[in-house]
Amino acid sequence: MSLKGSLQRLYVEWSAKGDSYEELVQRLRKNESTTHARLLNATEAAWNRERASHVIGIERWGAQRLRTLLGEPLVMDEYDGYAPSTDLSMAELAAEFKSTRAATLALVNELERKGISLAKIAKHNELGDLSLGGWLAYISSHTARETLAVAQRRQNKTSQTTET
């Protein structure tokens, strides 16, 4: 595991420490509304579509890893196969994000209903073993980080347009 991966794992585990399912779900829901707005308001630039596709792919991939906690086999793959096409519009990608997050929340609900401990471990390619709570914090923080760049990209684009 890289130094960056080790530090990121420590951060997400620390940020989830002591949180309940309810608190982690609230974090995901708050992140969902912010992210959805960022995607809807982003310009139709290839860079923005790539970021949106990446975020959705990572979340779908992460959900697949969390399904191992329900007994599904571990497949050591990458996120790319889970990402939607970058040919989709930002509005279509925003809708894909909403449905992806709804599926993630349904999975979290199932994990809680089945009594899966937030301390239970699932493998991440770069970060190593992450607790369920750490995974949920990772999904939320990754989405926030990556879509902040989309929003900044839009602001920079808008600033450049108004200055000329």
Helix/strand/coil for 86: coil
Q: Looking at the predicted structure, is the pLDDT value of residue 155 above 70?
A: no
Strands 121-124 and 128-131: what pairing? Answer: antiparallel
pLDDT of residue 39: 96
pLDDT of residue 162: 42
Label residue 150 by pLDDT band (50, 70, 90). confident
Measured over the CA atoms of residue 69, residue 72, residue 75 and residue 78, the dihedral's sign is negative
pLDDT of residue 153: 64
Residue type, 16: A
For residue range 10-41, what is the model confidence (pLDDT) as tens digits?
A: 999 999 999 999 999 999 999 999 999 999 99
pLDDT of residue 3: 87
Looking at residues 137-159, what average pLDDT do you find? Answer: 79
pLDDT of residue 152: 64
- Segments making up each domain of the chain, as ranges: 3-159
Q: Which residues pair with 124 in a beta bridge?
A: 128
The least confident of 67-71, 133-137, 159-163 is 159-163
CATH superfamily assigned to domain 3-159: dinb family like domain (1.20.120.450)
Looking at residues 129-156, what average pLDDT do you find? Answer: 88
DSSP character for 73? P
For residue range 87-110, what is the model confidence (pLDDT) as tens digits?
A: 999 999 999 999 999 999 999 999
What separation in angstroms does the CA of 129 have from each of 50, 62, 114, 123, 146?
27, 12, 21, 5, 22
DSSP character for 122? E
